[in-house]
Structure 1
Amino acid sequence: MKVLVTGGCGFVGSHTCEYYIKKGDEVVAFDNMTEYELKRTGYNSRVAREHNWKFLEDLGVRMVKGDVCNLPEILEAAKGCDYIVHTAAQPAMTIAIEEPELDLRTNVLGTFNVLEAARRYDIPVVNCSTIHVYGNKINENLREEETRYTCDPPSIDENYPIMQGTITPLHASKRSGELYVQCYIDTYNLEAATFRLTGMYGPRQFGGVDHGWVANFVIRTVMELPITIFGTGKQVRDILYASDVAKAFDAFYRRKKPGLYTIGGGIDHAISLIECLDLIKEITGKEQTIVYENSRLGDLAYFVCDITKAKHELNWEPTVSNREGIERLVEWVEENKEIFRG
């Protein structure tokens, strides 16, 4: 089949393109190649931004430079496609707060345009949302233990109350995208799904203080740079390896059961920031310099997905363990140190 991946040169998008091209499918990677996510990383942002483009090009992926905010461009890219995986997004809460118009255009208008392309050509589509739409009121129900926070209930499903606590532009834009997906399902019978995604990680992720914390920790450990933690370090996520995300997208295409899904590692993949740092230290054998700062506006201190619905409806569950995934990420960073020297 022919698959269009918006944000194809991003972290999740590049792994989705890789997954389908290695299955023998035709793949179109659609990306505007902006560098705003890389501004505060300290990396060589142009080289970092082009890394995934070159990687996918070498695999035989068709590369298209375009913007999801431009409807004619996305309509042209979607012609003849059998499936759209919409990963293009403004994903960082810090950037959303600083540049709310950029956040709105990318996450709301961009998602609308992708849905409109899917409607016009009758193409199944999956949209990437975030567990941040639940809000941070969860923080009020946590217990503090030696290395992590715990919560009751320990995992959260699609029916848990959303938009609770402090609401930022990222919460508003991502929830708006979810509503548009539901609108297109209900009004146009579009075969569509929204995935509320948790802390994803893996090779080709240029993580920094704004987004991609697992990769940020690995990069800074390997490069022997200071690591900043905002809060206590006991914050918990059920991290999810990139190839498992790509398999979740494919699981929706095969089952085509429209709706909303929490997609994460689940209880077995839950890990706190300091537990993750300890695992990285064990794998790399390198000491770490850790700096603690105050929590940031809107930060969510605990989230673990209940993935029961995805297991039952899509026949999907993660397969890559935290150790195995982080080992692969460490190997990739070691092989690409020049990018991270700035």
Structure 2
Amino acid sequence: MSEASDTRPVLITGGAGFIGSNLADRLASDGHHVIVYDALSRAGVQTNLDWLVQRHGDRITPIVADIRDEPRLADVAVQAKVVFHLAAQVAVTTSLVDPREDFAINIASTLGLLEALRTRAPTTPLIFASTNKVYGDLSDLDFALEDDAYRPVDAAIRAHGIGEARPLDFHTPYGCSKGAADQYVLDYARSFGLRAAVLRMSCIYGQRQMGTEDQGWVAHFLIRALEGRPITLYGDGHQVRDILDVSDAVGAYVAAWRNIDAVAGRAFNLGGGPANAVSLRALLAYIGTLIGRDVDISYADWRAGDQRYFVADTRAAEHALGLGEKVDWHSGVAALARWLAAARGINAPIAVAA
């Protein structure tokens, strides 16, 4: 059955979240009926759900439920033509406070979903949202401090970033739970033939992101700066991340679904790549340029599992999924600043991106 003729709904767990709501918007705009399965436990996600319903009407079916409700999730999943599994406990800090809850949400719920598909809907594609944290803190790599940013000494990593061949090394309960779920998804493809693939995401940013200090740090930096409040950097601020506009991330998820038979059983790094790599200090300096004033910055100790550098080698995803050119981080961050200012009623002129 072709995508166009299959009238079954798409299921997005965590569909009212930042990436989930953007993905739901894209798919509903393409004419799909989308089930948004979300516990609405995070601040701001109710606003995202209301926006989706107002924008798309009956193409959006909200189900307010916890993914730990295994029977309910299973009954919904087996009716779908594809499952995008984005629901998760997403913060390293929270996982350190309550590792059991982190386990229940990230591992046990994923296993329950996989079992539902294996036993009741074995041909339904599953795209799983993983994280670059599965590679650990990269402490074995050597870095040089250049222009206020950590850069790899290894020439190949400097040129292309961290590839999928990098050994897995789970740090913190969050890294363990997401990494274990990542591996369960890949093994269900290998052991049971599930049409499943994994996207290991770097830092995604963009509209509808309700950034906090623990998750969604690009939006968090912008929100604090727009409101004239101080920003705390954990570590020295020379950490480098590759940041990716959410529109590019959504495009990758859709492409993974459309190419599922070619990519089932594979994991891909998904990030901005070397062209969109930026240090925290450089990003804050750019935010200061956008808002026309310096940002108030303080420093605190490094946080557990923090990476001095992570830039994804995205060549495998680009080749296998046919991904196009990415949004440049300067214009993407400027667009997010304008959206956040408007959404929060902040009268702040935002400079045109350089």
TM-score calculated relative to the size of structure 1: 0.91
Corresponding position: 1:107 with 2:111: no
Instruction: Give the corresponding residue for 2:142.
Output: 141
Q: Which amino acid in the other structure matches residue 192 of structure 2?
A: Y
Listed as ranges, the matches of 1:1-342 within 5 Å are: 1=6, 2-35=9-42, 45=43, 48-60=44-56, 61-119=60-118, 120-121=120-121, 122-138=123-139, 140-151=141-152, 152=154, 153-154=157-158, 155-163=161-169, 167-256=171-260, 257-258=263-264, 259-337=266-344
Q: CA deviation at 1:178?
A: 1.3
The CA deviation string for residues 72-110 of structure 1, in whole angstroms up to 9 with x for no partner, is 111222243111111101111111111101110111012
Q: Which structure 1 residue ranges, 4+ long, deviate > 6 Å from structure 2?
A: none
- Hey, what's the Cα distance between the residues in 1 that align with 2:306 and 2:251? 28
Q: Which amino acid in the other structure matches residue 83 of structure 1?
A: V
SS at match of 1:300: coil
Q: Which amino acid in the other structure matches residue 84 of structure 2?
A: V
Q: CA deviation at 1:59?
A: 2.2
Q: CA deviation at 1:140?
A: 4.8
Indicate the larger mover: 266-275 or 310-319. 310-319
Q: Which amino acid in the other structure matches residue 169 of structure 2?
A: M
Contact 2:78 2:117 in 1 (8 A): no
Q: CA deviation at 1:319?
A: 2.2
SS at match of 1:127: strand
Contact 1:203 1:332 in 2 (8 A): yes
- Hey, what's the Cα distance between the residues in 1 that align with 2:138 and 2:132? 13
The CA deviation string for residues 8-61 of structure 1, in whole angstroms up to 9 with x for no partner, is 0111111110110111111111001113xxxxxxxxx4xx23211111111222
SS at match of 2:71: helix
Contact 1:126 1:195 in 2 (8 A): yes
Contact 1:68 1:113 in 2 (8 A): no
Instruction: Give the corresponding residue for 1:42.
Output: none
Indicate the larger mover: 66-75 or 86-95. 66-75
The CA deviation string for residues 241-266 of structure 1, in whole angstroms up to 9 with x for no partner, is 11111110111111111111111111
Q: Which amino acid in the other structure matches residue 161 of structure 1?
A: P
Q: CA deviation at 1:138?
A: 3.5
Q: Which amino acid in the other structure matches residue 338 of structure 2?
A: E
The CA deviation string for residues 184-220 of structure 1, in whole angstroms up to 9 with x for no partner, is 1012111101111001111111111111110110111
The gaps in structure 1 that reach 5 residues or longer are 36-44
- Hey, what's the Cα distance between the residues in 2 that align with 1:124 and 1:138? 35
SS at match of 1:64: strand
Q: Which amino acid in the other structure matches residue 14 of structure 2?
A: G
The gaps in structure 2 that reach 5 residues or longer are 1-5, 347-354
Contact 1:129 1:196 in 2 (8 A): yes
SS at match of 1:137: coil
- Hey, what's the Cα distance between the residues in 2 that align with 1:146 and 1:168? 30
Q: CA deviation at 1:162?
A: 1.7
Indicate the larger mover: 24-33 or 74-83. 74-83
Contact 2:126 2:195 in 1 (8 A): yes
SS at match of 1:12: helix
SS at match of 1:126: strand
Q: CA deviation at 1:317?
A: 4.3
What value does the CA root-mean-square deviation take over the aligned residues?
1.6
Contact 1:222 1:286 in 2 (8 A): no
- Hey, what's the Cα distance between the residues in 2 that align with 1:329 and 1:137? 30
